[in-house]
Amino acid sequence: MKQNLRSQPPLTRRRFLKRSALLAGAAVSGPLIVPGRVLGLDGATSPANRITIGFIGTGRQACHANIPGFLHEDDAQAVAVCDVDAWRMEEARKQIDAFYAQDQPSGNFKGCATFRDWRDLLARKDIDAVMISTPDHWHVPMAIAAVEAGKDIACEKPLTRSIAEGRKLADLVAQQQRVFRTDSEYRSRKFYFHGVEVVRNGKLGKLQRVITAMRPDPTLPAQPDMPVPPELNYDMWLGPAPEAPYTEKRVHTPHDTRKRPGWMCIRDYDDGMLANWGAHLNDIALWAMNADRTGPVSVSGTGQYPPAGNLWNVIQTFEVHFTFAHDVLLTSKTDRSAYVRFEGSDGWIQINDSGPMNADPKSLLTWKPGPDDVALPYKRSEKRDFLDAVKSRGRTQEDAETGHRVTTLCHLGLAAIDLHRTLRWDPAKEQVVSDDEANKRLQPKPYRRPWTL
């Protein structure tokens, strides 16, 4: 299997069909020893109703959240993992096989396939859906390819690196009728869910202001070039991003899936906290405002970047103001703690990320919807939401359109900060009004390889 992408042509339907023909009969790595739960014994879900999942990217978020999240759903079956880091990929394979081995009398289970090239995983016809847990610069190229391969998709947040590619992805998902879940768990966190129901039922009176706060990102000076670890296909890791010498703090800590990776603080791969935690907290804000399929009408903001030349160069502190057509002001800013605060004409409620809520009046903390109130559908996890939609062919709570609209706030906010001016935004046309320079900034980042949209 080739590891270097330089000679690889763009992914097409024809190439997928060719790969599928080559891989359709391929066996997984090791003999398939099927446990009772996979066979549908002891009341477990039968194979006919089990959704097979392939995992693309097996780093911190995959190993500690996404893989366990699907493993503990009885109607999902993890069948394949893929990563450019061979050590991480093997750790994920062992994690999956060990989980299923618990139900195997011999204590052995070797049914999880491994792939170094994500395109070969997508070509497997026996995989129903994929979980994309890669660095952000890979999200849209892989998600578009997965749609073209006929897979349903759960994709880590923040969903996109630009507004234009988000529109491309959301439209393609809708056209191909694929199930898509932007993978944020916050709609299933009960205290946030409670706050949204309070707002949606008008218990604050007229909603006037929403504040989303998140902690700032760290920074790091330039680092020395280093040899690429033997287990890492660094060329594939870079993928569409600009050429850059390898250094550990650019990628992730070798032989470790617990530490926060350095790429999350580098603008070639990520957009910082306004995108990362903003993808959680601003989603809750838009959901409560019933505005998660539209956007603001004006954006302004200020922010501070690290010194020029630093390796970790995403924005460190910021305060961005989004004005919506119904006269609600959403402010996203850095602070000492993370929270969402809703303020209305008759009261306020603040949900802190650690769980405690505060409100005025206090009765809002224990309020519950009655028969005539708006009762939003609750899902115990984003994984459950995704699997239910795969079965029903319905829409997830945070589909590609919603994920795109949430991430759009980040891109607009950064553009307003960098251009030092207020942007007037048309959420229907998804254009900055009478500002060619701003609209140019909202196009896809230049790709160094043929992963263009």
3-class DSSP string for the chain: CCCCCCCCCCCCHHHHHHHHHHHCCCCCCCCCCCCHHHHCCCCCCCHHHCEEEEEECCCHHHHHHHHHHHHCCCCEEEEEEECCEHHHHHHHHHHHHHHHHCCCCCCCCCCCEEECCHHHHHCCCCCCEEEECCCHHHHHHHHHHHHHCCCEEEEECCCCCCHHHHHHHHHHHHHHCCCEEEECCHHHCHHHHHHHHHHHCCCCCCEEEEEEEECCCCCECCCCCCCCCCCECHHHHHCCCCCCCCCHHHCCCCCCCCCCCHHHHCCCCCCCHHHHCHHHHHHHHHHHHCCCCCCCCEEEEEEECCCCCCCECCCCEEEEEEECCCCCEEEEEECCCCEEEEEECCEEEEEECCCCEEEECHHHHCCCCCCCCCCCCCCCCHHHHHHHHHHHCCCCCCCHHHHHHHHHHHHHHHHHHHHCCCEEEECCCCEECCCHHHHHHCCCCCCCCCCCC
Question: pLDDT category, 157, cuts 50, 70, 90?
Answer: very high
Residue 381 has pLDDT above 50, yes or no: yes
Question: pLDDT category, 392, cuts 50, 70, 90?
Answer: very high
Q: What is the mean pLDDT of residues 37-54?
A: 67
The pLDDT, as a whole number, for residue 49 is: 78
Question: pLDDT category, 16, cuts 50, 70, 90?
Answer: very low
What span, in angstroms and rounded, lies between the C-alpha atoms of 280 and 185? 8
Residue 4 has pLDDT above 60, yes or no: no
Among residues 201, 199, 202, 220, the alpha carbon closest in space to that of 210 is found at: 199
Q: What is the mean pLDDT of residues 342-351?
A: 98
Q: What is the mean pLDDT of residues 145-166?
A: 98
Place of tokens 């007229």: 206
Which of 371 and 41 is assigned the larger pLDDT?
371
The pLDDT, as a whole number, for residue 37 is: 45
Q: What is the mean pLDDT of residues 70-98?
A: 97
Q: Are 320 and 300 within 8 A, CB to CB?
A: yes
The pLDDT, as a whole number, for residue 11 is: 44
The pLDDT, as a whole number, for residue 289 is: 97
Question: pLDDT category, 450, cuts 50, 70, 90?
Answer: low
Give 104's contacts (C-beta < 8 A, 6+ positions apart): 33, 35, 36
The pLDDT, as a whole number, for residue 107 is: 73
Give the tens place of pLDDT for each residue, 262-318.
999 999 999 999 999 999 999 999 999 999 999 999 999 999 999 999 999 999 999
Token pair of 375 as six digits: 């009762």
Q: Are 202 and 302 within 8 A, CB to CB?
A: no
Mean pLDDT of the chain: 90
Least confident window among 13-27, 124-138, 260-274, 391-405: 13-27
The pLDDT, as a whole number, for residue 46 is: 59
The pLDDT, as a whole number, for residue 48 is: 61
The pLDDT, as a whole number, for residue 326 is: 86
The pLDDT, as a whole number, for residue 445 is: 75
Q: What's the pTM value of the predicted model, to 2 decimals? A: 0.90
The pLDDT, as a whole number, for residue 45 is: 66
Residue 76 has pLDDT above 70, yes or no: yes
What span, in angstroms and rounded, lies between the C-alpha atoms of 241 and 11? 17
Percent of the chain at pLDDT > 90 equals: 84
The pLDDT, as a whole number, for residue 2 is: 33
Q: What is the mean pLDDT of residues 247-269?
A: 97
Residue 363 has pLDDT above 50, yes or no: yes
φ/ψ (deg, to 5) at 413: -60, -45
| HEC secondary structure over 267-334 | CCCCCCHHHHCHHHHHHHHHHHHCCCCCCCCEEEEEEECCCCCCCECCCCEEEEEEECCCCCEEEEEE
Residue 108 has pLDDT above 90, yes or no: no
Question: pLDDT category, 106, cuts 50, 70, 90?
Answer: confident
